[in-house]
Amino acid sequence: MPIQEKPNYLWSILTMKCPRCRRGHMFTQSNPWKLKKTLQMPEKCPECGQPFELEVGFWYGTGYVSYALSFALSVATFIAWWVLVGLSTEDHRFFWWMGLNAALLIFLQPWLMRLSRVIYLYFFVSYDPDYKQTAVKSFDHKTEDYYRDNPGSPKS
């Protein structure tokens, strides 16, 4: 039993906390709409020391996550629009949805870019209640695999 309560998974993602300790902030600035600093991250988690960019080019994969998030959001707004406003082939309501949805996606882009990175890192790094004692998870260039706990004995 960990002494401290395990922070909630979804809540930790939404508040953009480090996946390993779920306490340290992953981004330097709390406001994603300060566009010059949107993707500014500390090299390591300020709380547990977990490196965020596990290898060079690690964040390239976030493109897929961001695409999936935008798609899911569009489906959600489409359903909401359908229920609340309605759709018809006789008027322009469908195009209004398209326009407003596009505007919403553009507005949310900085936040979505951050969220994609957070979700992406959560795929690779899991919560560790003993983060103060154990080694950080990192990329092993010999086996090209991600491992944690014991450097030298990759988890397979």
Binding site for Zn ion (CB under 5 A): 18, 20-21, 24, 45, 47-48, 50
* Nearest distance from C-beta of residue 46 to Zn ion, angstroms: 8
By beta-carbon proximity to Zn ion, the closer residue of 45 and 112 is 45
Q: Least distance (Å) from Zn ion to the CB of residue 120?
A: 16
- Residue spans of alpha helices (H) in the chain: 9-14, 62-84, 93-124
Q: Residue 25's beta-bridge partner residues?
A: 17
Contact 119, 27 (CB under 8 A): no
By beta-carbon proximity to Zn ion, the closer residue of 8 and 143 is 8
Least gap, CB of 74 to Zn ion (angstroms): 32
- CA–CA separation, 144 vs 142, rounded Å? 6
Q: Which is nearer to Zn ion, 54 or 101 (CB)?
A: 54
Residues paired with residue 146 on neighbouring β-strands, in sequence order: 139
Nearest approach in angstroms of CB 128 to Zn ion is 9
Paired tokens of 137: 């998870």
Nearer of residues 45 and 118 to Zn ion, judged by Cβ: 45
Distance from the first to the final alpha carbon of the chain: 25
Q: Which of 54, 61, 19 is nearest to 145 (CA)?
A: 54
